Structures are given as C-alpha cells and as structure tokens.
Chains A and B, each alone.
Chain A
Amino acid sequence: MFFPISGVHLDPIYLILIGFIIGTLGGFFGVGGSFLTAPALFAVGLPMNFVVGTDLAHIVGKSIVAARTHRVLGNIDLKLAAIMVIGTIAGSETGVQAIELLKKVADVDLVVGSVSVIVFTGISLFCAWESWMTLRAKARTSWSSCPTLSKKQDSTAIDGFAKAVQRIKLAPTVSLPHSGIASISFWAILFVSFIGGVFSGFLGGGAGYIRMPSMVYLLGIPTHIAVGTDLFEIIISAGYGTVRHAMKGNVDIVIALIMQTGAALGARIGANLTQYFTGPRIRLAFAPLPLLGAIVIALRLLNSHH
C-alpha cells in the first residue's frame, strides 16, 4: 500500500502486527514501546523524522485503549497523573532544547545513542535485581501463597528509599489515597515526571521505560497503579508531542491509524493481563525490555560507524 504523506510503500499487515506486539507490551508494562517501534518502522524504509512523529501518534491511540481498561481495573491515580503531566511537558521541552544545543557542539546520534545504551542497561539490570530480590523475600515469608492478599499489594526490595522520599515535607504536600500514600511533596512528583520528560524529549518516545520504574522505586506507587497512571499520562504528553511533530511535517497519520488498529487489540489484552500478575513479577518481566532497546541502539550505532 502506498502512503502518499510520507511517500513510502508499506505492508499494512506488517503495520498491524507491529502495532499488536507493541500494544500488548504497552498495555502490560505501561510503556510506549518506541525502542521497538522505531527500528521496526525504520527497517522497512520510513524516513527517521516520520518514524519519530508517527510513533508518537500511534502511542496516543494505544494508550487511550490501555488506559481505559486500566481505569476499569482501578489502576489510575488521576491526581498523580495531573501533576505528572506538568513535569513531563516541561521536561520534554527541556530535552528537545538540549538536543538543539547538542546539534551545535557534538555528534547528536553518538551522544544520544550512548546515553540511551547506558540508561536502558542500567534500568534493566536494576529492575531485574530488585524484582528478583523482592520475589525471593516474598517466597521466604510465604506472602505470595497467602490467598487473602491482593495481587495489587506491592513492595520493593528498596522500599526504604521511597519512604525516605515520602518523608521530605517540602510544601506543598499532597495525599494520594488511591496509591496508598498519605503525604508526599508535590515537588518530588514533579521532579520524577520532569526527569521522565527530559528523557522523552532527549531520547524520543514516551519514556515510560524510565517513568514507570521511577514511580515505583522513588515515589512508592504500587506497580499496577504506576502502569495505569503512566499510560494515562502518556496520552497527554504524547498527544502534545504528536501535534508539535505534525506541524513540522513529521507525522504520517494514515500509518499511525493502521498501526493503532492492531495496537488497540494488543493494549486491551496487555492491560487485562496485569490482573494475573503481582507487582514484582511485572517488574521482572519488564526488565529485559530496556535491555532489548539498548542492544538495538548499540547495533545501530556500530553499523553507522562502520
């Protein structure tokens, strides 16, 4: 099928399949999945500027479907999402400006690629270690076999860190009853979302790979709520990014709409699957994803320098 906006020939079945796979992962882990979508679209000949913008557009649609399912499951903290949107948009603008500055002084692809590989590998190793330790601790205390405890009740191997962040009483403080947090500084939430936004603007995509673990480990949000809230927040931040990219001519909306038909189905399946897993298991399953992204980027960097 010919797509006149980007001027490329692509197989719609391939687009639907890619959408389905990324949609399932996104619904389950609360990530946009750009680290997989970008190489998949680039590999079949879509120009890089269209890859970035079109991916963001498809993330909006997929996140709407997944977030609606998570809302039904009670996994969205609207108050938390509303605060995070402010930090994400501000951070995203900072990240974009950082890229513009970098263009003048260094090889952007090399710097961004190297930072991505380090960040993705770090997140992956940390998530794997932490969730493994938590699962081992749970096995020792036979928590997982207790039928009265819900799968949404969560803890991490570094719970003390989130508790320390919650003890910072820098005004104004907010309560997040839906997430089980009595009081937390507004600035702590803003800081976490700002950092996520910077990565989103700097490295592209929705940056769920850094925001979801940050919400769990730094703010102490239960994993299920972090996944649902992150998806809800992505709708707004990716929507904003889509409009900006579309104005610059970087979005082929027809490609995004076709991908979204597959992603919508995958997102529903992925979001529903979270009911059957505990928080540490979701985090353990999440761990290989950033590593996969790091490998893809490292290979691309190596190829471009040979």
Chain B
Amino acid sequence: MKSVKKSTLFHLIIELTIYAVFVSVYLILVLHFLLDWLKELFTKQREVYAYVAILLMIGQAVGLERLTSSLVHLTRRRTE
C-alpha cells in the first residue's frame, strides 16, 4: 500500500514538473509571438478573432492533454 502511494506521488510530481516546464516555455515563447497578432485581430477583425480564440483554446487543451498523457504513460512504463 505504501509503495503504491509513493508511486502515485512520484507520478504526480513528474506530471507537475512536465506541466511547469511546458507552461514556462509556452509563456515565454508562444504567447510572446501571439500577443501582438491577437491584439490586432481583436481590434480590426473581431469575427476572425472569435474563431481563432476558440480554435486556440481547443488546440491547447487537446495538445496539453495528449502531451502529458503520453509523457506520464512513458514514465510509468519505465518505472514499472
């Protein structure tokens, strides 16, 4: 039981670390390049902005979920 708890905690820490690294890189690189473009779209082409916004959100959600799932799956396989 103790080892199961330890292993779960270990996987949670790995997942948290992956997220932290991803979020940092994401904030520094991607948003830095997107910010001005999105602001211009928001001001000049509101309809295009609306569709780009929802696509970005869906894309990020699916991407984040897939990335972490596959990485956690990989780390679990290696530790088992």
| Interface residues, chain A, with chain B CB atoms under 8 Å away | 4-5, 12, 16, 57-58, 60-62, 64-65, 68-69, 239, 242-244, 246-247, 249, 251, 253-254, 256-258, 260-262, 264-265, 268-269
**Interface 1/0 per residue, B37-77 and A, CB below 8 Å:** 01100100011011111101110111011001000000000
Q: What are 17 residue pairs bridging A and B, where the CB atoms are less than 8 Å apart in the complex?
A: A58-B57, A60-B58, A61-B60, A64-B65, A65-B64, A69-B65, A239-B54, A242-B57, A256-B53, A258-B31, A261-B23, A261-B64, A262-B23, A264-B19, A265-B68, A268-B68, A269-B12
By the criterion CB–CB under 8 Å, are A256 and B27 in contact?
no
Distance, CA A69 to CA B49, complexed state (A): 29
A5 to B35 Cα, complex, angstroms: 9
Q: For the A-B complex with A244-B50, A246-B54, A262-B23 known, give 14 more contacts whose Cβ atoms are closer than 8 Å.
A: A5-B38, A5-B42, A12-B27, A16-B23, A58-B57, A61-B57, A61-B60, A61-B61, A65-B64, A239-B58, A242-B54, A246-B50, A257-B31, A257-B56
Cβ of A268: which chain B residues have Cβ within 8 Å of it?
15, 65, 68
Inter-chain contact A64/B31, CB cutoff 8 Å? no
User: Once the chains bind, are A261 and B26 in contact (CB under 8 Å)?
Assistant: yes
A247 B47 Cβ-Cβ under 8 A: yes
Q: How far is the CB of B67 from chain A (nearest CB, A)?
A: 10
Given contacts A243-B51, A246-B54, A258-B31, A264 and B15 within 8 Å (CB-CB): no
Evaluate contact between B50 and A243: CB separation under 8 angstroms: yes
B57 touches A258 (CB 8 A): no
Cα distance A83–B72 in the bound complex, in angstroms: 35
Given contacts A64-B65, A249-B42, A249-B46, contact A257 B54 (CB under 8 A): no
Report the separation of the CA atoms of residues A260 and B23 in the bound assembly, to the nearest whole angstrom: 10
Cβ of A265 and Cβ of B15 under 8 Å apart? Answer: yes
* Shortest 9 CB-CB contacts between residues of A and residues of B: A246-B50, A64-B61, A61-B61, A253-B53, A264-B64, A4-B39, A247-B50, A261-B23, A61-B57
Interface residue B1 (Cβ < 8 Å from any Cβ of A)? no
A65 to chain B, nearest CB (A): 5
- Any A CB within 8 A of the CB of B16: yes
Cross-chain contact B19 with A265 (CB below 8 angstroms)? yes
Q: Given A5-B38, A16-B23, A265-B15, A256–B57 Cβ distance below 8 Å?
A: yes
Cα separation A16 to B53 with both chains bound (whole Å): 18
Once the chains bind, are A57 and B61 in contact (CB under 8 Å)?
no
User: Is B34 located at the chain interface by the 8 A CB criterion?
Assistant: yes
Q: Do residues B16 and A265 form an inter-chain contact, with CB atoms below 8 A? A: yes
